């Protein structure tokens, strides 16, 4: 039996990719990182794609969201900006449920390798702007809100418990 997707959203540095990889060891789902898949499909790195314009990157991201909405059996780590276009979330929700990984801004700022994140480029002030702008979008998009304040293991346990409690992870058509 094919399982619906488990979709992770949140700020850059919130733990989506690390959690997704760990979840794939615990659940009958395969892990897919959207940024890595975009790089694979385009044959270029995320910074190279952003050099062609954020709109260009977002178009690639939107196409992948549509494709993944038709897939099953995946744990999907989205890029932090996936929520900027409501159609991306709508497309992804066709195939699964959305989990908002909510990590405090102070912890993200302390950990993030900003030089690898095109929209940040080492600027904590930019991170604060992204957080302020995106936080309500993450909240609105989420089927489940998962705090990630300190322990990745605790966050992982919370996701697994929520996933298993969710009546076989049925998909809602909201």
Q: How many Å apart are CA 4 and CA 95, to the nearest integer?
A: 6
> Which residue numbers belong to the known binding site?
13-18, 35, 58, 80, 117, 134
Q: Which residues define the annotated binding site for ATP?
A: 13-18, 117
Dihedral sign, Cα of residue 11, residue 13, residue 17, residue 21: negative
Tell whether the model's pLDDT for residue 171 goes beyond 80.
no
> Among 2-11, 64-73, 159-168, where is mean pLDDT lowest?
159-168
Residue 79, helix vs strand vs coil: coil
pLDDT per position as a tens digit, 55-87: 999 999 999 999 999 999 999 999 999 999 999
Residues contributing to the annotated binding site for Mg(2+): 17
Q: What is the pLDDT of residues 140-155, one digit of tens each?
A: 999 999 999 878 899 9
Domain 5-168 has CATH 3.20.20.20: no
């Amino acid at each position: 039996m094919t399982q619906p997707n488990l979709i992770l959203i949140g700020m850059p540095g919130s733990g989506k990719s690390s959690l997704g990889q760990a979840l794939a060891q615990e659940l009958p789902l395969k892990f897919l990182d959207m940024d890595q898949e975009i790089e694979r499909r385009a044959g270029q790195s995320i910074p190279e794609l952003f050099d062609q314009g954020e709109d260009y990157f977002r178009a690639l991201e939107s196409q992948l969201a549509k494709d993944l909405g038709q897939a099953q059996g995946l744990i999907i780590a989205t890029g932090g900006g996936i929520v900027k276009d409501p159609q991306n979330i709508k497309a992804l929700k066709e195939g699964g449920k959305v989990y908002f990984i909510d990590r405090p801004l102070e912890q993200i700022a302390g950990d993030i390798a900003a030089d690898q994140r095109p929209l940040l480029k080492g600027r904590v002030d930019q991170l604060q702007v992204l957080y302020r702008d995106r936080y309500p979008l993450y909240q609105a998009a989420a089927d489940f809100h998962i705090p990630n304040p300190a322990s990745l293991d605790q966050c992982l346990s919370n996701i697994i418990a929520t996933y298993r409690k969710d009546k076989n992870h049925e998909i809602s058509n909201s």
